[in-house]
Amino acid sequence: MANKRDLKRTINYITSELFAETMAAIIYSEKVDKEAGDNLLASIIITRDDFIKRVSHPEPGMKARKYFKTLAADFNNSMSEIIDRISNLG
């Protein structure tokens, strides 16, 4: 298991890349609905904050290995959804 600092860096890196990709899609595509793009940007920020909090404050009573495996799976699923939403923007 990686330490919490590395997990937070990875979460920040991935979400910042998706944020930049969404901004590029909004700026450079004429077909993109600006409101949908703004909602997607807000969703990325909220997701980032949620996962950073979950790394910082694990659930009590749950084994660390199981908790962080579940966290990683949830993060991957969430990022897959966001990637799909980005690709459907324009």
Asked if 25 and 90 touch (Cβ cutoff 8 Å), the reply is: yes
Rounded Cα gap, residues 15 and 41, in angstroms: 10
Res 36 pLDDT > 80: yes
Q: How confident is the model at residue 27 (pLDDT cuts 50, 70, 90)?
A: very high
Res 1 pLDDT > 60: no
Q: Which of 65, 68, 43 is nearest to 54 (CA)?
A: 68
33-47 average pLDDT score: 94
- Is the whole model's pTM more than 0.95, yes or no? no
Res 67 pLDDT > 80: yes
What is the pLDDT, as a whole number, of residue 89? Answer: 86
Asked if 82 and 46 touch (Cβ cutoff 8 Å), the reply is: no
What is the pLDDT, as a whole number, of residue 2? Answer: 66
